[in-house]
Structure 1
Amino acid sequence: MKLNDLVIPDTAACRGALEVAARYHTPSLLNHSVRAYLWAAAYARKQGIGFDAELLYVSAMLHDLGLTAEFDSHTVPFEEAGGHVAWAFCAGAGWSRERRQRALEVIVRHMWDEVSLEDDPEGHLLELSTGMDISGRRTELIPPGLREEVLARHPRLDIAKEFAACIAEQGERKPSSLAGGFVRSGIAERVARNPLDA
């Protein structure tokens, strides 16, 4: 499988979501967001999973906005903050109320341990792909040729160090959040051992 085999949707919402991600993310977080979509799309293609490419792409681009200074919330976990930003973005993009809610759900669920494929294919794919890209979970499912091509085009840069610092800071301020639980379970060590950085 090659990068050109993957469907990268070209819609106004997708172009806008990429522009927002590029404006507010560091280069490391931007590349992570792009890779999250690509790993998800590759896995879906390999497994024959049908999914809404526009919904998944927009959600992937916006899923970590709650980690940025501009959209960080002191009252809700970062994934919820990012989900609400996506809801507002998708309203501006003309999406229906139901579709906006789906973007919020996909983003919130990317932090879950597991998302049901049957109930939420896009949430399942984003939870899987962000786990691959951050903690190295199930990276053996990424086709080797595609892995090299994606990492060459969208390099990891400082994502391990940057994400570990972001999640530690979130966990300290919001200890009851999923980020707090990740910190207590040793996320920093898993991030440091990600095979994608080998």
Structure 2
Amino acid sequence: MNRKSPSPRARLDLTRAEKFAFARHAVAGQLREIPGGLTAALGFGSRDSALELHADPPDGHCARRAEELAREAYGPELLEHCLRCWYFGDLFAQRDRVDYDPELLYVACLLHDIALTDRYRPLPADAPCFAVHGATVARRSLQAWGADTAFSDTVEEAIAAHLDVTAPVENGAEGYLLHAAARLDVVGARAAEIPEHVLHQVNTRHPRTRFTSELSRTLRREARERPDSRIAVLWKIGMRFPIILNPVAMS
């Protein structure tokens, strides 16, 4: 597998020009998603009866080690978010007919916010973006657990890219699915494409208790402490509002 380099936005502090470009693309994306969000909020979303939840996530060696790490590092709000992302990622794979590695996606979902935890938050000398720092933490952990290079590199790439405005499937199925799942759970992107009763099933398995307030507090801190990061730009252009108004929280 050829390893793809993270985008310049992911590797470094954003320059002023990069901030404007990232903000412009993010706002355009938010505007495109407004009709779907309203459709979902009004209860007129997908009726696709073919979409269903898998009973259990994968149970391979790396999956078990990643779950152990996640349960040790996260508070309940972020842990449940990561577990919801696994189910949402699989649902988007079904809907979009995307073939993927279940264990790889599960590990990426579990660890994609690991750098938001007190245990793994970036230090001043680390990458300026929590997603990129978390991607490095995930890769190093996987290497220590005996994962092969292709597996650990793909997880790293998926996690680093999950804050990008888009993550094309051509750049990797797992990155595409993690990106779609995280955006659905956080801001309700593409909520109208998943049946409301299925969203409710996911929320029942992994409750959203205090998720909105805890995530908002955490991202506000990240934006303040890392003002040249992608999350700082997203927060500045109003990310808090789709978090609060997310129709998935109403399912």
2:63 matched to 1:11?
no
Pairwise CA distance, 1:74: 3.0
Q: Which residue identity is paired with 2:163?
A: M
Counterpart in 2 of 1:40? Answer: 89
Unaligned runs of 5+ in 2: 1-50
Q: Which residue identity is paired with 1:114?
A: T
Counterpart in 2 of 1:183? Answer: 235
Counterpart in 1 of 2:225? Answer: 173
Q: Which residue identity is paired with 2:233?
A: G
Q: Which residue identity is paired with 1:118?
A: E
Name the CA distance, whole Å, in 2 between partners of 1:178 and 1:101.
21
Find the partner of 2:178 among 115, 126, 143: 126
Identity %: 27
2:109 matched to 1:60?
yes
Which deviations, in whole Å up to 9, do the C-alpha atoms of 1:173-198 show, x marking residues without a partner? 11110110111111111100011122
Give the ranges of 4+ consecutive aligned residues of structure 1 lying more than 4 Å apart after TM superposition. none
2:154 matched to 1:102?
yes
Find the partner of 1:157 among 209, 213, 223: 209
Alignment size in residue pairs: 197
Unaligned runs of 5+ in 1: none
2:159 matched to 1:73?
no
Pairwise CA distance, 1:38: 0.5
Counterpart in 1 of 2:142? Answer: 90
Find the partner of 1:148 among 200, 209, 216: 200
Name the CA distance, whole Å, in 1 between partners of 2:134 and 2:60.
21
Q: Is the 8 A contact 1:110 1:123 kept in 2?
A: yes
Pairwise CA distance, 1:7: 6.4
Which deviations, in whole Å up to 9, do the C-alpha atoms of 1:50-82 show, x marking residues without a partner? 011111100100010100111001332111111
Q: Which residue identity is paired with 2:153?
A: Q
Q: Which residue identity is paired with 1:15?
A: R
Q: Is the 8 A contact 1:7 1:41 kept in 2?
A: no
Q: Which moved more, 1:94-103 or 1:179-188?
A: 94-103
Find the partner of 2:80 among 14, 22, 31: 31
Name the CA distance, whole Å, in 1 between partners of 2:195 and 2:66.
27
Name the CA distance, whole Å, in 2 between partners of 1:48 and 1:119.
16
Name the CA distance, whole Å, in 2 between partners of 1:70 and 1:150.
27
Q: Is the 8 A contact 2:92 2:180 kept in 1?
A: no
